[in-house]
Amino acid sequence: MKEIIKSKEKGNLVVISGPSGAGKGSVIQGILKEEDNLWLSVSMTSRKIRGQEVDGKEYYFITREEFEKKIEDGELLEYTEYSGNYYGTPRGKIHEHLEAGEDVILEIEIEGALRIKELIPEALFIFIMPPSMKELKKRLERRNTETEDKIIRRFKRAYQEINEVTKYNYVVVNDELEKAIRKVQAILLAERCRVDRIEEVYVGNEEELLHESLVDHKNLVNPESKI
């Protein structure tokens, strides 16, 4: 049976940002475990691998010289320099996955997200917020991967980044991970149901015949009624 609404098959470009320590990565991994129609675009960075990170999973790790060559060759959708390291989004297969109907997630820094907003204003922008600055400081310290000076710099930058929240479409406070995951899932579902994603509404012969039969039935039951 044909559905009455045909929606656009193209997926949504979803940009997820937030201060370092807000838990963006954990939220995204939780969504990916439960949603089939998603593809995560892995960012590229010139920074060193931390802890148990794997090249091609958390990031593509390349040298500063290699990164600058990719900038020169136009291979990045956007890029920024943060704490002395480059971060960027490879163009790669983003278009291919969107055309296949998959939502593409970009986990990127605020500066890069705002650049994408200029290029692709129809993209969906979600800001992951820590429950408090005190909790954010605790999370940064628990990582045990950076010096005290770097933690202080990240904490100061977080204050600046939080001021950019009004430039996003949605904000999700990551106080409890499971709740934050459910909220982002709800946002993605709501966006897929937007009216501006409708390509066509089918009201054909079957629907007209159904309407006429209902009218005829009502007139037989109540000849004076009007529709």
pTM for the whole structure: 0.76
pLDDT value at 211 more than 60: no
Q: DSSP string spanning the chain?
A: ---SEEE--SPPEEEEE--TTS-HHHHHHHHHHH-SSEEEEPPEESSPP-TT--BTTTBEE--HHHHHHHHHTT-EEEEEEETTEEEEEE-TTHHHHHHTT-EEEEE--HHHHHHHHHH-TTSEEEEEE-S-HHHHHHHHHHH--S-HHHHHHHHHHHHHHHTTGGGSSEEEE-SSHHHHHHHHHHHHHHHHT-GGGEEEE---HHHHHHHHHHHHHHHHH-TT---
Give the pLDDT of residue 9: 77
Interatomic CA distance for residues 227 and 184, integer angstroms: 44
| Residue boundaries of the structural domains of the chain | 5-38+102-218
pLDDT of 227 reads 47
Q: What confidence tens digit (pLDDT) does each residue in 12-50 have?
A: 999 999 988 889 999 999 999 998 889 999 999 999 998
Select 5-38+102-218's CATH number: 3.40.50.300, 3.40.605.10, 3.10.310.40, 3.40.190.10: 3.40.50.300
**What is the per-residue pLDDT across 124-172, written as a single tens digit (0 to 9) for each?**
999 999 988 888 878 777 777 667 777 777 777 877 888 899 999 999 9
Question: What pLDDT does residue 160 have?
Answer: 82
